[in-house]
Amino acid sequence: MNKEKLIADMKQIVADADALLQATADQTSEKIAGLRTRLQDNLKTARSRLAEAETTLVDKTAQATRDALQKISDAADQAADAASDAAQKAEESVKNAAESGKEAAQRAAEVARDAANKALDAITEMARKAKDAISKSF
């Protein structure tokens, strides 16, 4: 935010200098004419540099946001994969226990699978909300 404040301050300085140039337009002394010429040149340079700085700031902010979004997406994918693996292992355990005639183990495995699926849903929803929030900031 400090860079944005600096850009806003610089825009105000440029506007004030431009107003000063307009206010002294009817002054004809040699000193004032030379000062006006230098000030006009400096204002032109300042406007150009200010535009470059603003573009750079926007580009860097956008890239940082894209990087953060990618990291969130990658983490959500890894968590989803881990949850899916856990659910699959729980289901395999249930099948093995069910084959042994243990209904309680089957129920426990179903509960574990349901919990893993709920975790997967929560992670997916979190990633979607993060993506939406970042997308809305642009």
- pLDDT for position 1: 54
Cα–Cα distances (Å) from 118 to 57, 92, 114, 127, in that order, read 40, 18, 6, 14
For 19-51, write each residue's pLDDT tens digit: 887 877 777 778 777 887 888 888 888 888 888
Residue 102: predicted pLDDT: 63
- Gap between the Cα atoms of 123 and 80, Å rounded: 7
How far is 86 from 111, CA to CA, in rounded Å?
A: 12
| pLDDT digit string, tens, across residues 81-114 | 888 888 787 777 777 776 766 676 667 777 777 7
Cα 77 to Cα 127: distance, rounded to the nearest angstrom: 9
